[in-house]
Amino acid sequence: MISSILSLAFLFALLSCTSVASILPPDEYWQVTPPLNYSDVLYAGWDQIPVEKEVLIYNGTLIGRTYAHHPQLLAVGPSVYMVHSSAVIDEDSMGMELWGAMSHDGGYTWTPSHSILPAALLPNQTNVANFSYWCNEAIWQRAIGGLAVLEVDSEIWGVGETTDFFCWGDIGSGTRGAGRIARQLSTVDGMPIGDPCWLNQNNWTYIELYNETVYGTEYGMKFCEKADEMNAQLVEPTKVPAWSAWLYNDQLYAANNWSSLQEVTHSVWIEQDDGPGYWQRFWRDISPTNNSMRVWWEMTYDKEGKDWYPGIEEAYGNKVYETNIPDAKTKQFLGVLDDKQSRYLISNPRNNTELIRQPLTIAMSRGSDLSYKTVGVLRTNASDKIAPDTRDYKNQGFSYPVAVQVGHTLVTAYSENKENIWVSVVNIDDLP
Ligand SMILES: *[C@@H]1O[C@H](CO)[C@@H](O)[C@H](O)[C@H]1NC(C)=O
Ligand SMILES: *[C@@H]1O[C@H](CO)[C@@H](O)[C@H](O)[C@H]1NC(C)=O
Ligand SMILES: *[C@@H]1O[C@H](CO)[C@@H](O)[C@H](O)[C@H]1NC(C)=O
Ligand SMILES: *[C@@H]1O[C@H](CO)[C@@H](O)[C@H](O)[C@H]1NC(C)=O
Ligand SMILES: *[C@@H]1O[C@H](CO)[C@@H](O)[C@H](O)[C@H]1NC(C)=O
Ligand SMILES: *[C@@H]1O[C@H](CO)[C@@H](O)[C@H](O)[C@H]1NC(C)=O
Ligand SMILES: *[C@@H]1O[C@H](CO)[C@@H](O)[C@H](O)[C@H]1NC(C)=O
Ligand SMILES: *[C@@H]1O[C@H](CO)[C@@H](O)[C@H](O)[C@H]1NC(C)=O
Ligand SMILES: *[C@@H]1O[C@H](CO)[C@@H](O)[C@H](O)[C@H]1NC(C)=O
Ligand SMILES: CC(=O)N[C@H]1CO[C@H](CO)[C@@H](O)[C@@H]1O
């Protein structure tokens, strides 16, 4: 295949000019045993990872807001903060809000989830109309998704990404990012403190009339005083978020100039005995047709990550290569344990065209072996009672994983059927 010949040429070029040893060819990353068993629809042939606790943070049906995805986590000592998106019916639909909860005990118990960034609606709009209504009326839908939780000067801030949908007439349909909105969270109960404020805006912010929503009329469209500090964190390789206005408004293609990529993972640092260290991360293939159903791979020697996205925002010229890691075309999460040696990939490693997002698994790559050799099931067998949406975008399964280590446990969060938000606490010793 042309793409693998090119990636081998690229790797060979790296080897010959820097004489490093431990760069694993991307198509050798997935070496788990036993291999994926496609006949085992729930477990894919793998064992369940023991979990210390499963906590339902947000029950969409119970709350009457049946859409929820994009959880994000931050741990500060034993406190864990979460933000996630919450919409009344549909994915990324008019009035989607940032919600969140917090735990004081390493993820075992949580406050009820509550609204952090209110719906961005014009005075004549409500968030209850369905997706087709807004499309038929040719009205922009302003939606806010979960992006990050940050600590700045001992303050905790929840950050949402605007993801605004258009769907009418000659312009077709798509998403435009209008910037990031943040709000400080109480370290006592996770509730919002003070007004929401912006980390960045662009021309869409005003075209979509955010200035005539509560963000203008009540909160004055103001930038956060600490916007520079937060923006600086959000370009650090270990913190670059999965989404951005640029990723929504433009395209980022892989090295084959064809595969459309989004939802970049955080980076992990790889030390080498016989060469310089480097950052490594993965991307999700979001190509609407001819999707590779594979995870995509990227690396850089630049310690500050200035020579790749988001330091560079270019559609072409990105050195991102296809791996052999199977993928259900869903968001994944890459992290490293506090030992700095054990890399974990939380994903739906099953290339099913039915878009059933289970099992949700954790695969491990340990020490100098960069391949993923062991894998276990974090969660599977999602409820088949799914509250209806009007976009047909809901999928059975567990998706949008994130994780953070707290002491000797890995606190993970994910969405069930894009409507419930769960946390699973896993003892590090129980990882596969
Ligand atoms: C694959 O899964 C199916 C269904 O669970 C099972 O019957 C079969 O024995 C498994 N195959 C292997 C090789 O384990
Ligand atoms: C969510 O709440 C609904 C309504 O009370 C209930 O039927 C459902 O079982 C709950 N879901 C979970 C996962 O507990
Ligand atoms: C609300 O007002 C805007 C202009 O401010 C208009 O474009 C829109 O059609 C109106 N109706 C709804 C339901 O948004
Ligand atoms: C917004 O700005 C981008 C470039 O920054 C440009 O491509 C786009 O056309 C602009 N949109 C409008 C409606 O002016
Ligand atoms: C909001 O911004 C738009 C675009 O710049 C402008 O046309 C409109 O007058 C503004 N609304 C208010 C209330 O300032
Ligand atoms: C992709 O496009 C770049 C120019 O932007 C070119 O240098 C490169 O050879 C192309 N790669 C493939 C696989 O076509
Ligand atoms: C599908 O993708 C492959 C690369 O992964 C490319 O070679 C092929 O031309 C693509 N097919 C179509 C129909 O675009
Ligand atoms: C899957 O869940 C259903 C109920 O939701 C239960 O009846 C069934 O036993 C579960 N299957 C497995 C293999 O756990
Ligand atoms: C969406 O809402 C409209 C009323 O505004 C209704 O006629 C239509 O059936 C709804 N569509 C779906 C798929 O629920
Ligand atoms: C490329 C790839 O991983 N293909 C697999 C996709 O899933 C089918 C089963 O549904 C496997 O047979 C393929 O090998």
Average pLDDT over all residues of the chain: 94
pLDDT in tens, 415-428: 999 999 999 999 99
pLDDT of residue 132: 87
Cα 390 to ligand 9 centre (Å): 8
Alpha-carbon gap, residue 80 to 102, rounded angstroms: 6
pLDDT of residue 18: 39
Q: Write out the two tokens for 18.
A: 């820097």
Identify which of 93, 124, 126 to mutate to test ligand 3's pocket (most ligand atoms within 8 A of the CB).
124
Percent of the chain with pLDDT over 90: 89
Q: Is the peptide bond before 50 cis (omega within 30 degrees of 0)?
A: no
Buried-state track 130-148, b at ≥16 Cβ within 10 A, e below 16: bbeebbeeebbbbbbbbbb
Alpha-carbon gap, residue 123 to 357, rounded angstroms: 38
Average pLDDT over residues 107-135: 94
Percent of the chain with pLDDT over 70: 95
103, 80 contact by CB (below 8 A): yes
pLDDT of residue 168: 86
Alpha-carbon gap, residue 255 to 316, rounded angstroms: 7
pLDDT of residue 7: 54
pLDDT of residue 229: 98
Give yes or no for residue 6 CB within 6 A of ligand 6. Answer: yes
Confidence of residue 291 (pLDDT cuts 50, 70, 90): very high
Alpha-carbon gap, residue 116 to 368, rounded angstroms: 42
* Residue of 7, 210, 196 lying closest to 118 (CA atoms): 196
* Residue of 100, 93, 204, 80 lying closest to 151 (CA atoms): 80
Average pLDDT over residues 74-100: 97
Q: Which ligand has the nearest atom to the CA of 258?
A: 7
Q: Of all protein residues, whose CA lies closest to atom 10 belonging to ligand 9?
A: 130
Q: Is the pLDDT of residue 387 over 90?
A: yes
Confidence of residue 355 (pLDDT cuts 50, 70, 90): confident
317, 288 contact by CB (below 8 A): no
What pTM does this model have? 0.94
Alpha-carbon gap, residue 404 to 402, rounded angstroms: 7
* Residue of 386, 345, 390 lying closest to 366 (CA atoms): 345
Q: Is the pLDDT of residue 178 over 60?
A: yes
What are the sequence ranges of the domains in the chain?
53-430
Alpha-carbon gap, residue 169 to 154, rounded angstroms: 48
Atom of ligand 9 at shortest distance to CA of 132?
1
DSSP string, 116-157: EE-----TT--S-S-HHHHHHTT--B--EEEEEEEEETTEEE
Give yes or no for residue 139 CB within 6 A of ligand 3. Answer: yes
Atom of ligand 2 at shortest distance to CA of 383?
13
Give yes or no for residue 374 CB within 6 A of ligand 10. Answer: no
DSSP string, 295-321: EEEEEE--TT-TTSTTTS--SS----E
Q: Is the pLDDT of residue 6 over 70?
A: no
Q: Is the pLDDT of residue 342 over 80?
A: yes
Measure CA 43 to chain center: 23
**Alpha-helix residue ranges (DSSP H) falling in 141-288:** 203-207, 214-217, 227-233, 245-249
Q: Of all protein residues, whose CA lies closest to atom 1 belonging to ligand 7?
A: 290
Average pLDDT over residues 141-160: 98
User: Poorest-confidence range of 162-166, 238-242, 388-392?
Assistant: 388-392
Q: Write out the two tokens for 426.
A: 């896993």
pLDDT of residue 130: 86
Tell me the three state secondary structure of residue 208. coil
Measure CA 308 to chain center: 18
Q: Is the pLDDT of residue 83 over 90?
A: yes
Atom of ligand 7 at shortest distance to CA of 290?
1
Q: What CATH number should be reported for the domain whose range is 53-430?
A: 2.120.10
